[in-house]
C-alpha cells in the first residue's frame, strides 16, 4: 500500500477513514454510496468536523460569543442552524446572506452586518430586525443609517471598520501601509477618529467598537497583534478626547487552513492565546479597559469540513513536446471550474485521492481537468497521482468547504452539484442538485 491511500488528517475531514475494502467513508458513510445515491459532482460536509472546529475556536477565544462565523465562506440554512446550536455569532456580508440567516431562524441579536456598498434595503433590514452590529464602512453610510434608525425610532449598535494599515497575507506579514483597498476608514490619516466622533454624536447610533481585518489565510498572530495595537491606540484617543470607552474590538477573519499535506495545521489555541494576551497587554499599557475581543473565522471553521466527489471520465496520455515532462496524463472529471473556480482564480491547490478502492498505481505525472470547453479548466495543474486511475473511479478533493459552492457558476450549462451532510452513519441532503428546469426557469 503506498502513500496515495493515506488521508492526511490535517487536510481531510476528521471522520474520513479508509475502510478495509479500500473505500473511504466520512461521517460513517461510504463515499461510494453517496456518489451512487446523490450523483457526482457532490459536496460532502462532515457535520461533526464543523461543530468540533466551532467548539475549538470558541474555547480558544473564551466562549462562543467571541466567535462570528463568516457566512460568506459557506452559507445554507442548515449550516446557519449548526452555528446557532453551537452558540456562535454570525457575520453576513449582504442583504441576501442576512435573509438566508433569518430564514434559518438565526437570532438577529447575534448577527453582524458587513459590506462596502450596503443598499438602503439592507440597512433598513438591519434596523428592523435588530441586527446586533452594523459595521460601517464609510461616513455616508453612517449618516444614512442614523437617519433610518431615527425614522424607525430605534438605536442601532454599530462598529466602524478601520484600516489598520497592515497586510498579513499567507504566512508572512508586512507591517506596511495597506491603505489602498476598498474597505474601511483610515486610522493613519485620522479619518477613523473623526468617524468615531461623528458616530458618537449621532442621535440613533450606538458605537460599540471598531473593526479591522488584516488579510486572508493567516497562520500566525503577529499581524493581528500589530493591528490590535494600532486600533487600541485609537481606543485610547477616543477614551482620552471623547471620554468614551469602547467595549468591543473586532479583529476580523482570515485564519488560514492547510489545503495540501505539506502545509501545517492552524494552531488555533496558540494563535488565540497570543492574540488575546497582546490585546490585554496593550490595553493595560495604554491604561484603558481591555475590550471584549471578536473574531470572524469562515474558512478555518468550514473549509476543512467538506470534500468534493468527482467521477473520472476520460484518461488521456499526452505527449507534451516538453523535454522536462514528455508525457502528461490528463484525467477528466465531471465537474471543473464551474464548481471550483479557485485553482483558475488563485492558483489554489487541493489534495485529491481515489476513494472507491485502494490504489496501487505508480506515481504518474498528471493533470486533473474538468469537462468545460476551456483549456484553463484545470483543477490540479501538475501532480504525481497514482497511475492506475481509470474511467469510473471516484476522485475526492479535500478542503472544499469554503468559497467553492458559494462561487459556483452554471458555465457550459453546469448544474450546481448537490450538497449533503453526513453524521453518525447518516447522510442528509442539504442542497439539492440543480436541474435543467432550474436553468430554464429564468427564461421568459
| Active-site residue set | 373
CA distance 310 to 370: 10
* Residues between 215 and 274 that touch its own copies (CB under 8 A): none
Establish whether 43 is an annotated binding residue.
Answer: no
Asked if 416 interacts with its own copies (CB under 8 A), we say yes
Asked if 133 interacts with its own copies (CB under 8 A), we say no
CA distance 60 to 399: 22
CA distance 139 to 137: 7
Asked if 174 interacts with its own copies (CB under 8 A), we say no
Task: Report the residue number, 243 or 321, with the smaller CB distance to its own copies.
Answer: 321
Query: Closest approach of Cβ 43 to its own copies, in Å?
Result: 12
Establish whether 342 is an annotated binding residue.
Answer: yes
Instruction: Out of 5, 17, 94, 364, point to the residue binding its own copies (CB under 8 A).
Output: 94
Instruction: Out of 18, 66, 68, 72, point to the residue binding its own copies (CB under 8 A).
Output: 72
Instruction: Out of 8, 22, 313, 361, point to the residue binding its own copies (CB under 8 A).
Output: 313
Task: Report the residue number, 2 or 410, with the smaller CB distance to its own copies.
Answer: 410
Establish whether 330 is an annotated binding residue.
Answer: no
Residue 87 CA from chain centroid, whole number: 18
Start-to-end CA distance of the chain, whole Å, equals: 56
**Cα dihedral sign for 60, 351, 73, 312?**
negative
Instruction: Out of 18, 230, 367, 423, point to the residue binding its own copies (CB under 8 A).
Output: 367
The DSSP bridge pattern shows strands 418-423 and 426-431 to be antiparallel
Going by C-alpha positions, the residue among 398, 315, 333 that lies closest to residue 369 is 333
Instruction: Out of 243, 324, 347, 436, point to the residue binding its own copies (CB under 8 A).
Output: 436
Task: Report the residue number, 203 or 375, with the smaller CB distance to its own copies.
Answer: 375
Burial of 4 (0-12, 13-18, 19+ CB in 10 A): buried
Asked if 203 interacts with its own copies (CB under 8 A), we say no
Instruction: Out of 415, 422, 423, 427, point to the residue binding its own copies (CB under 8 A).
Output: 415
Asked if 143 interacts with its own copies (CB under 8 A), we say no
H/E element, 311: strand 306-319
Going by C-alpha positions, the residue among 66, 84, 63, 65 that lies closest to residue 75 is 84
- Residue 78 CB partners (closer than 8 Å, separation 6+): 104, 421, 430
Give the DSSP letter string of 337-385.
Answer: TTT--HHHHH-----EEE-BS---PPEEEEEEE-SSSSTT-EEEEEEEE
Asked if 188 interacts with its own copies (CB under 8 A), we say yes
* Residues between 330 and 349 that touch its own copies (CB under 8 A): 330, 332-334, 341, 344-345
Establish whether 64 is an annotated binding residue.
Answer: no
Establish whether 14 is an annotated binding residue.
Answer: no
Question: Which residues make up each annotated binding site for substrate?
Answer: 299, 342, 346, 374, 403
Binding residues: 254, 296-299, 342, 346, 374, 403
User: Which residues are annotated binding-site positions for pyridoxal 5'-phosphate?
Assistant: 254, 296-299, 403
Amino acid at each position: 500500500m503506498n502513500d496515495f491511500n493515506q488521508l492526511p488528517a490535517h487536510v481531510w475531514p476528521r471522520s474520513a477513514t479508509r475502510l478495509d475494502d479500500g473505500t473511504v467513508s466520512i461521517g460513517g458513510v461510504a463515499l461510494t454510496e453517496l456518489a451512487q445515491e446523490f450523483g457526482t459532482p457532490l459536496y460532502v460536509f462532515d457535520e461533526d468536523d464543523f461543530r468540533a472546529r466551532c467548539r475549538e475556536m470558541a474555547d480558544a477565544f473564551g466562549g462562543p460569543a467571541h466567535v462570528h462565523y463568516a457566512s460568506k465562506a459557506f452559507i445554507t440554512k442548515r449550516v446557519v442552524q449548526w452555528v446557532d446550536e453551537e452558540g456562535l455569532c454570525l457575520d453576513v456580508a449582504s442583504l441576501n446572506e442576512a435573509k438566508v440567516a433569518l430564514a434559518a431562524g438565526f437570532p438577529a441579536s447575534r448577527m453582524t452586518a458587513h459590506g462596502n456598498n450596503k443598499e438602503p434595503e439592507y440597512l433598513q433590514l438591519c434596523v428592523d430586525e435588530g441586527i446586533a452590529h452594523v459595521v460601517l464602512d464609510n461616513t455616508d453610510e453612517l449618516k444614512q443609517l442614523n437617519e433610518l434608525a431615527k425614522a424607525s425610532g430605534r438605536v442601532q449598535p454599530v462598529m466602524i471598520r478601520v484600516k489598520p494599515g497592515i497586510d498579513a497575507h499567507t504566512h508572512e506579514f508586512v507591517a506596511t501601509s495597506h491603505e489602498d483597498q476598498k474597505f474601511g476608514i483610515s486610522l493613519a490619516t485620522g479619518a477613523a477618529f473623526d468617524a468615531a466622533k461623528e458616530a458618537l454624536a449621532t442621535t440613533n447610533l450606538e458605537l460599540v467598537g471598531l473593526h479591522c481585518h488584516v488579510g486572508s489565510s493567516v497562520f500566525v498572530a503577529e499581524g493581528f497583534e500589530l493591528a490590535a495595537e494600532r486600533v487600541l491606540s485609537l481606543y485610547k484617543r477616543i477614551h482620552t478626547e471623547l471620554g468614551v470607552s469602547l467595549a468591543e474590538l473586532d479583529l476580523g477573519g482570515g485564519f488560514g487552513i492547510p489545503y495540501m499535506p505539506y502545509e501545517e495545521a492552524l494552531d488555533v489555541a496558540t494563535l488565540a492565546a497570543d492574540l488575546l494576551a497582546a490585546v490585554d497587554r496593550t490595553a493595560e499599557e495604554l491604561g484603558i479597559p481591555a475590550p471584549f475581543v471578536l473574531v470572524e473565522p469562515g474558512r478555518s471553521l468550514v473549509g476543512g469540513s467538506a470534500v468534493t466527489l468527482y467521477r473520472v471520465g476520460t484518461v488521456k496520455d499526452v505527449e507534451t513536446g516538453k523535454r522536462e515532462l514528455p508525457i502528461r496524463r490528463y484525467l477528466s472529471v465531471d465537474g471543473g471550474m464551474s464548481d471550483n473556480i479557485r485553482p483558475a482564480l488563485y492558483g489554489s491547490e487541493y489534495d485529491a485521492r481515489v476513494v472507491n478502492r485502494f490504489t496501487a498505481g505508480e506515481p504518474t505525472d498528471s493533470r486533473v481537468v474538468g469537462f468545460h470547453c476551456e483549456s484553463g479548466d484545470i483543477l490540479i495543474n501538475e501532480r504525481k497521482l497514482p497511475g492506475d486511475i481509470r474511467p469510473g473511479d471516484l476522485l475526492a478533493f479535500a478542503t472544499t468547504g469554503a468559497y467553492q459552492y458559494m462561487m459556483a457558476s452554471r458555465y457550459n450549462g453546469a448544474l450546481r452539484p448537490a450538497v449533503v451532510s453526513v453524521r453518525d452513519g447518516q447522510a442528509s441532503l442539504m442542497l439539492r442538485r440543480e436541474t435543467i428546469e432550474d436553468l430554464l426557469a429564468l427564461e421568459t
